[in-house]
Amino acid sequence: MAKGKVITVAQQKGGSGKTTLAVNLGVMLVRAGHSVAFLDTDPQGSLGRWFMTRHETGQTGGMEFSTASAWGVGYEVGKLRDMADFVLIDTPPKADSDLRPALRAADLVVVPVASSHVDLWATDGVLDLSRREGREVLVVLNRARAGTRLGAEIAEAVQALKADTAHTQIANRVAYAATLGQGLAGVEGARSPALRSELDALLVEVLAKLDD
């Protein structure tokens, strides 16, 4: 049996939407017929709270969940890769030695960048660590503000990061935060065709990157 693919979601700055991105990618993978294991390595535990909220409503079919501190990531990922088609790792908001095990375990590192210059500046550390570990990276413009001058500036600056950047941008939608608190993903709680379309498109890009 083939081992599961590992996607690590990492960003040095808090508030970039790491957990939201991990949740939504995971649910989209399950909806596409894959099994998914979530691994929460962030002491804040937002991914775990989301999963337990979902578990209480009996909607965790095709999903596993675990937690690990930095030193335990490799061991935990080894187990989860035998249990699921994909392992999604949510990480703490920092770029240091604690993040390295989660990067080392990854087949792909997804780096969300929210629409602010501060978020953009914080990205260098994660990209540098990922390169040192020889890992494939996909930068995703998250909480994007289409049609704004700031949004356009950030989108342009992201292209200069010397890292592969997703064509798909995830918009700044209230639905993502609202569904997270309910143990859901955006596609499950919102009827917006645009939201569904952007998640479908991002999943295609992530899977294509993993198949490279």
pLDDT in tens, 131-159: 999 999 999 988 877 666 766 777 777 77
Look at 3 and 121; give whichever has higher pLDDT: 3
pLDDT in tens, 174-195: 999 999 999 999 999 878 899 9
What's the pLDDT score for residue 38?
A: 98
What's the pLDDT score for residue 26?
A: 98
* Residue 6, φ and ψ in degrees, nearest 5: -110, 125
Structure tokens at 149: 């001058």
Averaged pLDDT, 23-39: 97
The model carries a pTM of 0.93
Domain span holding position 145: 5-211
Distance separating alpha carbons of residues 61 and 27, to the nearest angstrom: 10
Distance separating alpha carbons of residues 143 and 173, to the nearest angstrom: 7
Tell me which amino acid residue 155 is. A
Check whether 80 has a pLDDT greater than 70.
yes
Distance separating alpha carbons of residues 181 and 174, to the nearest angstrom: 11
Averaged pLDDT, 36-52: 96
Contacts of 188 (CB under 8 A, 6+ apart): 27, 179
Distance separating alpha carbons of residues 206 and 111, to the nearest angstrom: 12
Q: Considering only 2-11, 28-37, 143-152, which range has the smallest mean pLDDT?
A: 143-152
Q: What is the CATH number of the domain that holds 35?
A: 3.40.50.300
What's the pLDDT score for residue 12?
A: 86
How many domains is the chain built from? 1
pLDDT in tens, 94-107: 767 789 999 999 99
Look at 116 and 168; give whichever has higher pLDDT: 168
Look at 104 and 70; give whichever has higher pLDDT: 104
